[in-house]
Amino acid sequence: MVIKVYIASSSGSTAIKKQQQDVLGFLEANKIEFEEKDIAANEENRKWMRENVPEDSRPASGNPLPPRLFNDTRYLGDYEAFFEARENNAVYAFLGLTAPPGSKEAEALAKQQA
């Protein structure tokens, strides 16, 4: 299972740049392996991302904007979904990964199961 983060290296939007940095920084800080897929520099990446974002997760008009997260080919969500998972200490569950022992998320799961 590979976490894939679709980003745009040359986005004119400061909000998108900030969101991308936020996601990538969190993954790096928590040593979560991921692949960065640049839709600005690679047409195949752009095409694949647009085709694989589910209809109900697309904007009303225009194309889906990065950052978008996938676990292999399974769509996980956009920045808002990632941010909400992070706020709820549920990022590993959001990503489809097992929370490492000692993490806030693993401790919260242990309390729920006790």
* pLDDT tens digits for range 31-72: 999 999 999 999 999 999 999 999 999 999 999 999 999 999
**Mean of pLDDT values over 1-7:** 93
Query: What's residue 91's pLDDT?
Result: 95
Residue 36, both tokens: 């960065």
Query: What's residue 113's pLDDT?
Result: 83
Q: In 10 A of CB 71, how many CB atoms?
A: 16
Q: Is 101 within 8 Å of 109 (Cβ atoms)?
A: no
Q: Is 82 within 8 Å of 66 (Cβ atoms)?
A: no
* pLDDT tens digits for range 76-110: 999 999 999 999 999 999 999 999 988 888 888 88
Q: Which residues pair with 38 in a beta bridge?
A: 7
What's the predicted TM-score (pTM) here?
0.92
Task: Report the C-alpha dihedral over residues 101, 106, 111, 114, rounded to 10 degrees.
Answer: -60
* Domains delineated in the chain: 3-113 (3.40.30.10)
- 67 φ, ψ (degrees, to nearest 5): -80, 145
For the cut 80, the answer to whether the pLDDT of residue 1 exceeds it is: no
